[in-house]
Structure 1
Amino acid sequence: MITYPVLEKRATIGVTASSAGVGPGSVELFGEACSRMKERGFQVICGDTVYKHDKAKSASGKERGTEFNQMMSDDRIDLIIPPWGGELLIEMLEHIDFGKVRHKWVLGFSDISLLLLVITLRTGIATAHGPSFGDLRGKVTDQTTAMWQTVLSTASGQSVVQRSSLNYHQEVEGAEPSPSLFHLNTRTQWKTVSGDAVSLRGRLLGGCIDIIRHIIGTPYGDVRHFQEAFIHQEPVIWYLEYCELNTVDLRRSLVQMKLAGWFENCSGVMFGRGGTNTPIDNYTAEDAYKELAEELQLPVVYDLDYGHVPPQMTLINGAYAEVNVAGGSGVITQYFYE
Structure 2
Amino acid sequence: MSGLRFPRPLRPGDTIAVTAPSSGVQRSMRPRLEVAVRDLERRGYVVRMGECMDGTSHVSAPKQERAAELTAMLLDPDIAAVVPPWGGELAIDLLDLLDFDALADAEATWLVGYSDTSTIMVPLTLRSGWATLHGANLMDSLYAAPDGLAHWTEVAAATAPFTQRSPGRFRTARHGDYVGNPELDTYELDAVGGWSVLGGGDVEVSGRLIGGCTETLGAISGTQYADVAAFGREHADEGIVVYVEACDFGAYDVARILHGFRLAGWFEHANAVFVGRPMAPDSDGFSQADAAADALGDLGIPVILDVDCGHVAPFLPLVNGARAEISVTDGIGEVTQSFEGTEAPL
TM-score (norm 1): 0.92
Give the aligned partner of residue 108 of structure 1: 113
String of CA shifts for 1:201-222, please: whole Å, max 9, x gaps: 1110100001011112222122
Amino acid at match of 1:116: M
Residue of structure 1 aligned with 2:155, choices 136, 151, 155: 151
Offset, 1:172:
10
Change (3 A) 1:174 1:43: closer
What SS is found at the alignment partner of 1:212? helix
Offset, 1:181:
4.1
Give the aligned partner of residue 259 of structure 1: 263
Give the aligned partner of residue 231 of structure 2: 226
Offset, 1:119:
0.3
1:320–1:336 CA contact under 8 A, matched in 2:
yes
Find the aligned partners of 1:11 and 1:164 in 2 and give their Cα distance. 30
Identity %: 34
What SS is found at the alignment partner of 1:325? strand
1:333 to 2:332 alignment:
no
Residue of structure 1 aligned with 2:316, choices 291, 313, 318: 313
Offset, 1:174:
11
Give the aligned partner of residue 243 of structure 1: 247
1:180 to 2:182 alignment:
no
Give the aligned partner of residue 172 of structure 2: 170
String of CA shifts for 1:173-231, please: whole Å, max 9, x gaps: 999969424211212311111210012211101000010111122221222333445x3
Find the aligned partners of 2:175 and 2:137 in 1 and give their Cα distance. 24
Give the aligned partner of residue 75 of structure 1: 77
Gaps in structure 2 of 5+ consecutive residues: 342-346
Amino acid at match of 1:214: A
Find the aligned partners of 2:156 and 2:329 in 1 and give their Cα distance. 27
Give the aligned partner of residue 40 of structure 1: 43
Change (3 A) 1:243 1:173: closer
What SS is found at the alignment partner of 1:295? coil
1:106–1:127 CA contact under 8 A, matched in 2:
yes
Aligned-pair RMSD on alpha carbons?
2.2
Give the aligned partner of residue 304 of structure 1: 307
Bigger Cα displacement from structure 2, 324-333 vs 212-221: 212-221
1:144–1:312 CA contact under 8 A, matched in 2:
no
Amino acid at match of 1:264: E
Offset, 1:41:
0.8
Alignment of 1:187-202 (within 5 A): 187-202=192-207
What SS is found at the alignment partner of 2:6? coil
Amino acid at match of 1:27: R
Give the aligned partner of residue 268 of structure 1: 272
